[in-house]
Amino acid sequence: MSDKRDDNICVVCRHEYTSGSGGPGGGGGGGGGHKKWIFAIGRCDHWVCYECCTRMRVLCQQNECPICRQQLNEVVFTADKQKKFDEFDLKKCLYHNNHGIHFEDDLALESYGKLLEHPCRKCRGRQPLKSLHDLNTHLRKEHDLHLCDLCVKNLKLFTHEIKYYTRKELVRHRKSGDPDERSHRGHPICTFCDERYVDDDDLHLHLRREHFYCHFC
C-alpha cells in the first residue's frame, strides 16, 4: 500500500475509512454510535485504525509501525489522520502508560476502552463482565455456552470477536472446524498424549519438543 497521507485504507485490516462510513460503535464494529473514526499515529506519521493498533500493542505486544517497521514507544489516538505526530500537544492528551497510547479526547479513550471490554452478546443491556474468565463462567452457567480454550489462548482476538459454542458445536469445532469458516479445519490432536493444539505448526513444535525429532522430516 502507498503511505500517502490522504489514503483512506488501513494497511493492516484493509478497511476503507471515509467520512460516510460511520464510526466506532460499542464493541469494535463500524457504524452506529459515533460519527468519527479513530486512528493511531506514531512518530513516523503513518496511520492505522485504532482497532488494529490496539490489537498490535495490547494483544500482540508489538509496537512497531506495520508500514515502516519503526519502533513506536508512543502513539496518539485521534479522529484526524491528517495530523502529524509533532502537531499533537501530548501534555493535553490522556495517557495509557502500559501501552504508550495518548488519547486526544474522551471519544478516543472511550473507543479504546470498549474494544477491551468483556460483554456477553446474549444479554442485552447487561454491563460487561470484569474479565474473560468471568464471561466464560457466565456463559456456561447462564447460557450453557462455551469458548474454545485453544482459540482464546492462541488467537489475538478481542472478546467481542470470540465465538460462542454449544457443547456439540464445540466438539465439532475442535475436531473438524466450523461450517462457516473453511480456512479452519479443527485443532489437530497429538496421538501420543491425546491433547489438541491450535494448528499443525503448534502440534509439530510439540512433537519435536516432547516426543521425537525426525532428521528426515
The domain boundary residue, chosen from 57, 91, 116:
116
DSSP code per residue over 8-60: -B-TTT--B--TTS--B-TTS-BSSS-SS--EEEETT--EEEHHHHHIIIIIS
77 shares its domain with 179:
no
The domain boundary residue, chosen from 116, 131, 161:
116
- Going by C-alpha positions, the residue among 51, 67, 75, 50 that lies closest to residue 2 is 67
20 shares its domain with 104:
yes
193 shares its domain with 171:
no
Q: What is the pLDDT of residue 33?
A: 40
pLDDT digits (tens, 9 = 90+) for 173-215: 999 999 988 888 899 999 999 999 999 899 999 998 888 766 5
68 shares its domain with 9:
yes
- Calculate the average pLDDT of the chain: 88
The grid cell for 86 is: 509533532
111 shares its domain with 126:
no
107 shares its domain with 79:
yes
Domain region containing 140: 122-183
Share of the chain above pLDDT 90, in %: 74
Alpha-carbon torsion (51, 39, 116, 153), positive or negative: positive
Number of domains in the chain: 3
127 shares its domain with 178:
yes
The domain boundary residue, chosen from 64, 89, 116:
116
64 shares its domain with 170:
no
Q: Are 41 and 78 in contact, with CB atoms under 8 Å apart?
A: yes
Strands 39-42 and 101-103 come out as unpaired
111 shares its domain with 163:
no
pLDDT digits (tens, 9 = 90+) for 133-155: 999 999 999 999 999 999 999 99
pTM for the whole structure: 0.82
149 shares its domain with 193:
no
147 shares its domain with 194:
no
110 shares its domain with 154:
no
- Cα–Cα distance measured from residue 88 to residue 78, given in angstroms and rounded to the nearest whole number: 9
